[in-house]
Structure 1
């Protein structure tokens, strides 16, 4: 999706619904879109902060201004990529609020990325398990375990309004990146199906992602994302059915007119699919050469 025209509401407080406000961080990029959106949830006098974002002084000052005299009950992180959690520690120091949410995770990935690396400063006071809640006056946030993009990824459901804060698991502007070894395509698909089941039951009415516009038709979007991943899987199997080959050879066949800067990241996405297919016994490695050069075949 193309970037929306400027000006973007960087540093400004927007209010998409009564219990939700958001502040856009000044970190636009090809993998963060217009920037990371930090959400302030709750009544004016007691709130939670979701995905505090990068530890940029400009963003921290904007958050402090938006918080005003309110008590921050919790600073909650969906996962620990560097565009989501680094501001947790300095915001905690300035507000006295505990950091809760996802588990700590630091992983060095020796390969191309199309997202941020992990935050080495993240130290939660409390890790939330699936279904655990944080509460305040008039609001309840429930942790929804959604591994796949990262193994520690959480979404947060606002029970009072049907809003789901989806971090990077589901975004309207782009598909989520799944990069091995921590990113896991099998887990990602299970997490998508988990959200689809929630939407079928009418649990979530709107998604607020960390990047991009609100998703007002979550069921349709998740169904489309599941279909897209299945199409990629079928494409891989069709190509491997023609001949055994490497990821480097698969990428140009699968991604037509791809920006050369994204070739490595596309390869990692294909690798995530292949690892999942290998685990399920559908493909195997004919020859292991390392990184993206392994030769793959149908089992």
Structure 2
């Protein structure tokens, strides 16, 4: 578990409050607190856990604020380590919660399903992806399901100004990590809150759900968003405040590094497909991962497969891969340049 750093004064009414994510290798999520005449505005809120809530409340006190004074919270995206405490925050204050409409739609769909329905959906995806029965049964025995937080009550579109009196804080839509991921630019201070879109060392997860979906192109969106964020006016001079790891500068260079990483991954997957058609599980299990495949739990393997699926989807968009075989157990094959794919 990573050591949780202290609350830090970043000057001019801006603070970073690290909120722990217990029993999770991510360690903590930075919640940023911006002081305004109408009460503090938060960027993200943190994980839904008693220890996380206590850290947020005590962190706010160290910034000179009470939790009931919070004016509002902007979610960079809907993932639980960023949005989990929205319900507790609402119960303790009159704070509004804003998110991009695309992420709000995801949360609304999730909220309409029961835990059993969400778990059954994962089982179905694993089966269609070609996961061996022992993996599917292991997941069935101890399913991990995403329980949506309280729904946001304000929509924040690309370029829209946040309700933060005295501050020009604007949304920059960067879809990919989630459909509605937002970065936030604070004018006048050359600051950019990057959420999980751009991190200084690691690359965020970009997955495709359902795993074999032929709709959407999350990785294509993500790479386009990296290009866009790297071309922001004055990008070279921005100080980036991410949700994890540490503050950094050199945004255009880091955005290019992230794109290059995924392009290398796409090339490696194309080479594997050149050895013959493969199910999603077969391809995922042959790739290199930070943790050895044999050591991954079923849910981690499912997440790895979703990342592989996103790469396959982009290869399909580029005409370099095609899916074939039965719809209940598709396989992917390499498309050789200059040939006509089979229908």
Q: Which residue of 2 aligns with 1:99?
A: 97
Pick one of 6, 9, 16 that aligns with 1:22.
16
Decide whether aligned partners of structure 1 residues 55 and 297 sit closer, same or farther in structure 2, where only a CA change above 3 A counts.
same
Displacement of 1:253: 3.9
1:131-280 equivalences under 5 Å are 131-181=159-209, 184-198=218-232, 201-202=234-235, 205-255=238-288, 258-260=291-293, 261=296, 262-280=300-318
- Whether the 8 Å contact between 2:40 and 2:65 is mirrored in structure 1 is no
Alpha-carbon separation, structure 1, partners of 2:219 and 2:178: 10
Decide whether aligned partners of structure 1 residues 56 and 265 sit closer, same or farther in structure 2, where only a CA change above 3 A counts.
closer
Pick one of 30, 36, 53 that aligns with 1:37.
30
1:117-136 equivalences under 5 Å are 118-136=146-164
Aligned-residue CA RMSD (Å): 2.9
Decide whether aligned partners of structure 1 residues 128 and 289 sit closer, same or farther in structure 2, where only a CA change above 3 A counts.
same
Displacement of 1:172: 2.5
Q: Which residue of 2 aligns with 1:297?
A: 334
- Whether the 8 Å contact between 1:80 and 1:119 is mirrored in structure 2 is no
Displacement of 1:252: 4.6
Q: What SS is found at the alignment partner of 1:40?
A: strand
- Whether the 8 Å contact between 1:169 and 1:176 is mirrored in structure 2 is yes
- Whether the 8 Å contact between 2:37 and 2:165 is mirrored in structure 1 is no
Alpha-carbon separation, structure 2, partners of 1:81 and 1:191: 18
Alpha-carbon separation, structure 1, partners of 2:43 and 2:145: 19
- Whether the 8 Å contact between 1:145 and 1:153 is mirrored in structure 2 is yes
Alpha-carbon separation, structure 1, partners of 2:35 and 2:236: 19
- Whether the 8 Å contact between 2:240 and 2:248 is mirrored in structure 1 is yes
- Whether the 8 Å contact between 1:36 and 1:211 is mirrored in structure 2 is yes
Q: Give 5+ residue unaligned stretches, structure 2.
A: 111-117, 127-138, 211-216, 336-340
Decide whether aligned partners of structure 1 residues 141 and 196 sit closer, same or farther in structure 2, where only a CA change above 3 A counts.
same
Decide whether aligned partners of structure 1 residues 288 and 189 sit closer, same or farther in structure 2, where only a CA change above 3 A counts.
farther
Alpha-carbon separation, structure 2, partners of 1:288 and 1:160: 56
Displacement of 1:215: 2.2
Alpha-carbon separation, structure 1, partners of 2:33 and 2:44: 9
Q: Deviation digits for residues 30-82 of structure 1, max 9, x if unmatched? A: 55x22111110235873211110123333334433425447433211111121
Decide whether aligned partners of structure 1 residues 76 and 257 sit closer, same or farther in structure 2, where only a CA change above 3 A counts.
closer
Q: Give 5+ residue unaligned stretches, structure 1.
A: none
The structure where strand makes up a greater share of residues is 1
- Whether the 8 Å contact between 1:134 and 1:140 is mirrored in structure 2 is yes
Q: What SS is found at the alignment partner of 2:40?
A: strand
Decide whether aligned partners of structure 1 residues 258 and 278 sit closer, same or farther in structure 2, where only a CA change above 3 A counts.
same
Alpha-carbon separation, structure 1, partners of 2:71 and 2:50: 22
The structure where helix makes up a greater share of residues is 2
Q: What SS is found at the alignment partner of 1:268?
A: helix
- When Rg is computed on C-alpha atoms for both structures, the one with the higher figure is 2
Decide whether aligned partners of structure 1 residues 35 and 137 sit closer, same or farther in structure 2, where only a CA change above 3 A counts.
same
Length, aligned pairs only: 288
